[in-house]
Homo-oligomer: A and B are copies of this chain.
Amino acid sequence: MRLVVAHCSVDYAGRLSAHLPLAPRVLMLKADGSVLIHSDGGSYKPLNWMSPPCSVSVSQPDEHEAAGGVTELWTVRHAKTDDVLVVSLHEILHDSAHELGIDPGLIKDGVEADLQELLAEQIEVLGEGHTLVRREYMTAIGPVDILARDANGRSVAVEIKRRGGVDGVEQLTRYLELMNRDPHIAPVTGVFAAQEIKPQARTLAQDRGIRCVVLDYDAMRGMDDVHARLF
């Protein structure tokens, strides 16, 4: 990992074209050849970058560039596409290199998969008398998150999202259309379950006869702890 702080301008040509005017910035060169150009704000996204696999080649500025104050040019080429990032370095304020090794990586907890697991365990959250048929019920166009049965024994297809938008409703609609064509399983009703359901999505779901259920992750995890203690 090499860290450089320098006045620079940047040009990118690839899926789009982009340009950064001359200013002081932090340049991060990773061991895999990738380059990140960060400013002192924004969020974690760099102003510009080149993703691996790629390689950097350093060259000297031509007469015109040198006259403009450029001391060094970095040309970063992607190995597979023809994306190119050119960093024109002016004054270099800092330059250091560090050996980091391979990172052991992030351990996560609390994403959609966890929600699905919890809901499968606590399927009664959908309403009294509901029973789980299976998680990841496969259809021709992909897996339905949860297939359940309501108190009357009718099939219920559940689509789970952390944040429920129209996309999720569309997805569930496609599954329902398909499943309701299959006489073995029809009729199937739909439930759209999410920690947060956006108004547009709720409207669309209601319009299509899909029930919306808001999930409380913390409460469900609490219930899960009770389960764990009791059994």
The answer to whether residues A19 and B96 also contact, given A30-B40, A41-B32 and a CB cut-off of 8 A, is no
Evaluate contact between A100 and B26: CB separation under 8 angstroms: yes
Evaluate contact between A102 and B41: CB separation under 8 angstroms: yes
User: Which residues of B sit under 8 angstroms from A15, Cβ to Cβ?
Assistant: 110, 162
Instruction: With CB as the reference atom, state the residue of chain B lying closest to A20.
Output: B106
Evaluate contact between A17 and B52: CB separation under 8 angstroms: no
Out of B5, B42, B103, B107, which one reaches A18, CB within 8 Å?
A: B107
Please tell me the size bucket of the interface on A: 35 or more
Asked whether A1 is an interface residue with its Cβ less than 8 Å from the other chain, the reply is yes
A19 CA / B108 CA spacing, docked (Å): 7
Evaluate contact between B102 and A40: CB separation under 8 angstroms: yes
Evaluate contact between A106 and B41: CB separation under 8 angstroms: no
Asked whether A63 is an interface residue with its Cβ less than 8 Å from the other chain, the reply is no
Asked whether A175 is an interface residue with its Cβ less than 8 Å from the other chain, the reply is no
A19 CA / B171 CA spacing, docked (Å): 32
Asked whether A160 is an interface residue with its Cβ less than 8 Å from the other chain, the reply is no
The answer to whether residues A21 and B110 also contact, given A5-B98, A26-B3, A94-B98 and a CB cut-off of 8 A, is no
User: Which residues of B sit under 8 angstroms from A149, Cβ to Cβ?
Assistant: none
Q: How would residues 100 to 123 of chain A score, 1 for a CB under 8 Å from any chain B CB and 0 otherwise?
A: 111111111111000000000000
A6 CA / B29 CA spacing, docked (Å): 17
Task: List chain A positions with a Cβ less than 8 A from chain B.
Answer: 1, 3, 5, 15-21, 23-26, 28, 30-32, 34, 36, 38-49, 51-52, 93-94, 96, 98-111, 162, 167, 170
